[in-house]
Structure 1
């Protein structure tokens, strides 16, 4: 069964979830075998490879504005993270070092040796595990608006009132959220944006439907978030073993969120860090100010 899923070619988006813009027709999507399951991966284009990793509240669908530009002269790989979106729902393995190992396996299956890495939110955490654990596989890293467990100001983040959801999990919590996924996501979109109206009804309904899928909230809360404590320990070990990252890093923050502080955050983890600030944006940069983000990201990627 797993082998059949790995070979199956699917539309780049589910037709039932067409309210968020579909990826260009040059993309296809498939379920690719990883440890204990499969990951839903969109793939398109030819040329130097770019890997795009989303976070909580989104899926790989968030990257459409960037992917449609990059695909003209790059190979673009856009997975849904473990247990999220249309990927399968393993019961374990949500530590970010494990997810990085899975991504290396996906790149190996695609015969791709190295990538430019673009990440947001929890994708940053998976991205660090990939860049620090497999530095030869990442040529540049663009990292957006979230800190790294165990590094920089992480301990302060744990007592920030806006991160109460890091420990929001368990069977009773899941019963509380069941059928109310849209309300839950609205809290994140409204509280963490500069202007909640920038995240429109279609986008909100699209992701609410995906997070209402069986296992999605459980895997986000009891999988991705619950792993943060172990991720912090793993990151400290990676840093102690390998030191700061050497590849060029672009740290992007929304001016109503991390802002210029993202460059400081990444300065704890990398030696060659540039910063950029997206104006009139909170945390949801690709939804709030996609054109600014695309221009800044593609400019950094195109630099020699």
Structure 2
């Protein structure tokens, strides 16, 4: 029964997406489901050369990375997963702490026979990427983090007090019932409030992601990502007790969002941090200022050649 409901939901998403689709990845990419760390991760893979992994955040899926993926695929092997429980990845009952999801990334790379990679992350993807980089320091060449804090790192406790981040503590079965059938209303809050100009997060993109988050179990998995933050903070402090990250790090913030705070946070966690602030942008950097964001990321990754 559950399997048939899941299949039916995918058909609904496909039908909706045919009329309201974020830009598709170039035809050089293929999609595959990878068995990793006790679950199944949906992955887009394309190109050849040095590997780069792109990790999305909440309110989106790996689809958000199309502008950057289309640029990097010219000379990289580009690997774009959907995080555990989100998009078209499986929705296991547990494992939404970021340490476990870091091992999801390791499992995907192992399955694809990739030893080392650059890492580009956004939002909750930052947290998963940090856990992966901290546990597998020899597997990450360069690390780009975009516009979101890391649990337990730097001014985390002060960041939690920001009323704009009310959703960090919003979850549980009653909250799931409140948003059931109203996923678009809930997600619009984030797309609107965290944008410099909300209309840059297009209606087509909103319909696309709302359909994916309306799939069975998707909102439950999304709330689980936030519910794990207390454990994530414990794990991240333990990682830092072993020493800061040594690989080159680029901390990117939107001028109307995290801005230079992104670099300030990462200097608590890494020894080699560059700062970039994208002008006229909020949190949704790939939607609001894709060209400027791609240029900054590409320039940083090219330094590693």
1:34 to partner: Cα distance:
2.0
CA RMSD of aligned residues (A): 1.1
The two structures have a TM-score, normalised by structure 2, of 0.93
Structure with greater contact order relative to length (CA < 8 Å, sep ≥ 6): 2
* Secondary structure of the structure 2 residue equivalent to 1:77: strand
* Secondary structure of the structure 1 residue equivalent to 2:225: helix
Cα deviation code 1:99-118 (max 9, x no counterpart): 11121111011110101000
Other-structure match for 2:22: 20
1:284 to partner: Cα distance:
0.5
1:158 to partner: Cα distance:
1.3
1:14 to partner: Cα distance:
5.2
**Residues 86-125 of structure 1: matches in 2 within 5 Å?**
86-125=88-127
* Secondary structure of the structure 2 residue equivalent to 1:209: helix
Other-structure match for 1:230: 231
Give the distance between the partners of 1:108 and 1:153, measured in 2 at CA. Answer: 34
Matched, 1:191 2:203: no
Give the distance between the partners of 2:16 and 2:298, measured in 1 at CA. Answer: 31
Give the distance between the partners of 2:238 and 2:94, measured in 1 at CA. Answer: 21
Give the distance between the partners of 2:155 and 2:285, measured in 1 at CA. Answer: 21
* Secondary structure of the structure 1 residue equivalent to 2:257: coil
Give the distance between the partners of 1:246 and 1:235, measured in 2 at CA. Answer: 15
Other-structure match for 1:253: 253
1:169 to partner: Cα distance:
0.8
Give the distance between the partners of 1:61 and 1:174, measured in 2 at CA. Answer: 24
Other-structure match for 1:43: 45
Give the distance between the partners of 2:229 and 2:196, measured in 1 at CA. Answer: 26
Other-structure match for 1:164: 166
Other-structure match for 2:267: 267
Give the distance between the partners of 1:96 and 1:142, measured in 2 at CA. Answer: 17
Give the distance between the partners of 1:229 and 1:69, measured in 2 at CA. Answer: 36
Give the distance between the partners of 1:250 and 1:24, measured in 2 at CA. Answer: 26
Contact 2:257–2:282 (CA under 8 A) maintained in structure 1: yes
Give the distance between the partners of 1:81 and 1:244, measured in 2 at CA. Answer: 25
Give the distance between the partners of 2:72 and 2:15, measured in 1 at CA. Answer: 23
Give the distance between the partners of 2:60 and 2:217, measured in 1 at CA. Answer: 15
Other-structure match for 2:7: none
* Secondary structure of the structure 2 residue equivalent to 1:28: strand
Contact 2:155–2:265 (CA under 8 A) maintained in structure 1: yes
Other-structure match for 2:5: none
Contact 2:16–2:211 (CA under 8 A) maintained in structure 1: no
* Secondary structure of the structure 2 residue equivalent to 1:65: helix
Give the distance between the partners of 2:50 and 2:14, measured in 1 at CA. Answer: 27
The two structures have a TM-score, normalised by structure 1, of 0.94
Other-structure match for 1:200: 202
1:128 to partner: Cα distance:
0.5
Give the distance between the partners of 1:59 and 1:20, measured in 2 at CA. Answer: 11
Give the distance between the partners of 1:101 and 1:175, measured in 2 at CA. Answer: 31
Give the distance between the partners of 1:14 and 1:131, measured in 2 at CA. Answer: 34
1:209 aligned residue (208, 211, 230): 211
Cα deviation code 1:86-126 (max 9, x no counterpart): 00100001111111112111101111010100000000000
1:185 to partner: Cα distance:
0.9
State how many pairs are aligned. 290
Give the distance between the partners of 2:59 and 2:82, measured in 1 at CA. Answer: 12
